[in-house]
Structure 1
Amino acid sequence: MNQAIANLASEADRAEALQLQLEAGETIVELDPKVIHGSFVKDRLDGFTDPKFIELREGLKTSEQIIPVLVRPHPDIKGEYQLAFGHRRVEALRQLGRKVKAIVRNLSDEDLILAQGKENTDRADLSFIEKALFALRLDQQGVRRQVIMDALTITSKGVLSGMISLASSLPTELIEAIGSAPSIGRPRWETFAQLLADPSHESTWRELIRQEQFHALSSDARFERTLKSVAVRKEKVSDEQIIKTGEGRKIATAQSSKRAVKLTIPTKHTGEFAQFLLRKLPDIYEEFAASAANTTSDNE
């Protein structure tokens, strides 16, 4: 009930803002979704498959689009437009085969970013990781830090730097596979990043995100599943032991757990040694067994 009231209040605020825009002389036009392109910086992770989008699209089936989207003339394609905000409304109307009500405004890149960020902040529906990744992408585009702070309503440069640093430390492919994870805040993403700093975990999460059942989970559940898989692997595997020659050249690595010892020999430079070792393993074991038997006999 409280959320419903909040949504109504938010819609009322946007309707009031729209009225002010119209009074200021801005007009609403109807555009074909085919000529509307997304912002030059992506801010959402869940795309157009999550329940909120489905709810929006179903609602538009039986009602008019009340709040117009904001676009600017496309900087590179004459006669077409680029979105500042309203990506979900445009996609929903595209799927329904309807035109989009839009306000066309001349915007600089910074103006577009500020409008895009403000809309998301007003709706309070970007998750922590979406904000962090959005900030990283803007930073990589060369957008001034102050503009990023204004767009995301962040007042501390340290907080912004921390968000950008955290997002840059995580594999983007993995973040996009997990999605927005709306219930997961900064502390747990930091814990996740610390675990993933160990490159040996990469094979674990890559195998996980290839599984169909992984993508059938909710975004929060995908985060939990990946975190658990990486954490369990860390508990099972001890510190890696590097095996070197007398001259200091690395020839193998060994990882020990309660169940097994895993010996890894790179085949690029030591492939022949690996084959030699495989042939010699039976002899080595026989030598070990004989030595163990002698030791037991001596102790009796």
Structure 2
Amino acid sequence: MARKNLIEISNANEARPDPSVSPARDSRPIAGFIPQTRSAGLVGGITKTLGSITEKVERANDLERQLAEGRTIVEIDTALIDASFVADRLDIDAAELAQLTEQIREHGQQVPILVRPHPQAKGRYQVAFGHRRLAAAKALKIKIKAVVRALTDEQLVVSQGQENNARADLSYIERALFAHRLEEKNFGGAVITAALNIDRAALAKMRAVTRQVPIALITAIGSAPAIGRRRWMEFGEHLEKVDIDALIEMLSADNIGQLSSDDRFQRAFAFATAKQVALKATSAAQIADLPVKFKRTPTTATFVFDNKAAPGFDEFVQERLERLYAQYRQERDAG
């Protein structure tokens, strides 16, 4: 666009000086230059136009500043938003999500989520907090209200954790698992304690739980919101001699998988404690009578022969296994 169109300057009627009139003393030429006479209306128009341009630039800069500071709420297509790079929850309760979706349908989204520009994908965003609201908006196929803020990785996880703490949103095991995942991402203790709003002693106990209870087993149980730290620690203490794969398989069964996560924890706890008690009783009784240690799980059974107490007994049993198995099948089929 030409400059004259931008600021609306026209030279057609520009006033020219009368050569018969001598310039006033205080408007004498400086260094040989003769000043031109300007129209007051023209100068006012230029000033007004320039002021309008400046105001628009300032408004644009102010908007960018507010977005950077997270003070402006914008609407974003949910297809452009990815989850946080550190998961903070095990699952989203279907009933709770349905209730939240209905609330947003009826009353609109009351609280915006927090996102940051995606650090690896231009034009996309990454959630700091508000995953359930995002899921509800996706279900409703609407844009989501969000605050966009430039955040470092540390700032994102601290915001993520502190929002969940403020809303009492995560169960104990989800918070412990969040701490575990942050450590896997090489975040230091200071960032983790700030994100979870805990001290180092509490963090140490969370570490103990995730060391004793395998992550795959935690995932199979779920968030278990009614189960606190002491119960999880007690559960972990009983897992040393439990077949974890068999326990996870049990929890994955259709009749168990449909239970609430709190109920799945109770089933897992009963499995672990009952099997341990049965194992101790069986082993003690058989060791007293036979030179064999016996270990049973829901899917396997193991015999360990004491060759010092009964040399050659293992070979004796091995030679007769085929015959014993044939006898077992005959009796099973007859029964």
Q: Give the TM-score normalised by structure 2.
A: 0.66
Aligned-residue identity in percent: 42
Q: Paired residue for 2:29?
A: none
Specify whether residues 29 and 171 from structure 1 end up closer, same or farther in structure 2 by C-alpha distance, changes over 3 A only.
same
Q: Paired residue for 1:149?
A: 193
Specify whether residues 58 and 235 from structure 1 end up closer, same or farther in structure 2 by C-alpha distance, changes over 3 A only.
same
Residues 204 and 230 of structure 1 are in contact (CA less than 8 Å); yes or no, is this contact kept in structure 2? no
Q: Matched residues in 1 for 2:245 and 2:304: separation?
A: 17
Are 1:29 and 2:69 an aligned pair? no
Q: Paired residue for 1:101?
A: 145
Specify whether residues 214 and 256 from structure 1 end up closer, same or farther in structure 2 by C-alpha distance, changes over 3 A only.
closer
The Cα of 1:194 is off from its aligned counterpart by 0.8
Q: Matched residues in 1 for 2:266 and 2:81: separation?
A: 36
Moved more, 121-130 or 230-239: 230-239
Are 1:276 and 2:319 an aligned pair? yes
The Cα of 1:206 is off from its aligned counterpart by 2.3
Q: Paired residue for 1:42?
A: 87
Residues 265 and 274 of structure 1 are in contact (CA less than 8 Å); yes or no, is this contact kept in structure 2? no
Aligned residue runs from structure 1 range 51-90, under 5 A = 51-90=95-134
Q: Paired residue for 2:218?
A: 175
Q: Paired residue for 1:219?
A: 261
Write out per-residue CA displacement over residues 2-61 of structure 1, whole angstroms, 9 at most, x where no aligned residue: xxxxxxxxxxxxxxxxxxx89x772111111111001111111123x3322221112112
Q: Out of 198, 205, 212, which is 1:162 matched to?
A: 205
The Cα of 1:273 is off from its aligned counterpart by 8.4
Q: Out of 207, 213, 231, which is 1:188 matched to?
A: 231
Are 1:123 and 2:162 an aligned pair? no
Larger Rg computed on CA atoms: 2
The Cα of 1:104 is off from its aligned counterpart by 0.7
Q: Deviation above 3 Å: which 4+ runs of structure 1?
A: 262-266, 271-275, 279-282
Residues 204 and 229 of structure 1 are in contact (CA less than 8 Å); yes or no, is this contact kept in structure 2? no
User: Over aligned residues, Cα RMSD in angstroms?
Assistant: 2.8
Q: Matched residues in 2 for 1:274 and 1:91: separation?
A: 60
Q: Partner amino acid for 1:197?
A: E
Write out per-residue CA displacement over residues 149-199 of structure 1, whole angstroms, 9 at most, x where no aligned residue: 111111x2122122122113211111112111111111110111011122x
Q: Matched residues in 1 for 2:317 and 2:195: separation?
A: 56
Q: Matched residues in 2 for 1:113 and 1:274: separation?
A: 59
Helix, strand or coil at the partner of 2:123: coil
Specify whether residues 114 and 256 from structure 1 end up closer, same or farther in structure 2 by C-alpha distance, changes over 3 A only.
closer
The Cα of 1:264 is off from its aligned counterpart by 3.5
Residues 247 and 268 of structure 2 are in contact (CA less than 8 Å); yes or no, is this contact kept in structure 1? yes
Helix, strand or coil at the partner of 1:98: coil
Q: Paired residue for 1:16?
A: none
Are 1:204 and 2:249 an aligned pair? no
Q: Matched residues in 1 for 2:133 and 2:315: separation?
A: 61
Residues 118 and 124 of structure 2 are in contact (CA less than 8 Å); yes or no, is this contact kept in structure 1? yes
Q: Paired residue for 1:295?
A: none
Q: Matched residues in 1 for 2:211 and 2:232: separation?
A: 12
Helix, strand or coil at the partner of 2:150: coil
Helix, strand or coil at the partner of 1:101: strand
Q: Matched residues in 2 for 1:207 and 1:174: separation?
A: 10
Which stretches in structure 2 are left out of the alignment for 5+ residues? 1-65, 285-291, 306-313, 326-335
Q: Matched residues in 1 for 2:302 and 2:170: separation?
A: 45
Residues 32 and 99 of structure 1 are in contact (CA less than 8 Å); yes or no, is this contact kept in structure 2? yes
The Cα of 1:263 is off from its aligned counterpart by 4.5
Q: Out of 140, 156, 161, which is 2:184 matched to?
A: 140
Q: Out of 284, 294, 308, which is 1:254 matched to?
A: 294
Write out per-residue CA displacement over residues 232-272 of structure 1, whole angstroms, 9 at most, x where no aligned residue: 1111112758xxxxxxxxxx852389xxxx55379xxxx99
Q: Partner amino acid for 2:74?
A: V
Q: Matched residues in 2 for 1:69 and 1:181: separation?
A: 25
Q: Matched residues in 2 for 1:25 and 1:121: separation?
A: 20
**Matched length:** 241
Q: Give the TM-score normalised by structure 1.
A: 0.73
Helix, strand or coil at the partner of 2:114: strand
Aligned residue runs from structure 1 range 280-299, under 5 A = none
Specify whether residues 275 and 210 from structure 1 end up closer, same or farther in structure 2 by C-alpha distance, changes over 3 A only.
farther
The Cα of 1:140 is off from its aligned counterpart by 1.1
Q: Matched residues in 2 for 1:171 and 1:75: separation?
A: 32
Helix, strand or coil at the partner of 1:84: strand
Residues 117 and 125 of structure 2 are in contact (CA less than 8 Å); yes or no, is this contact kept in structure 1? yes
Q: Paired residue for 1:292?
A: none
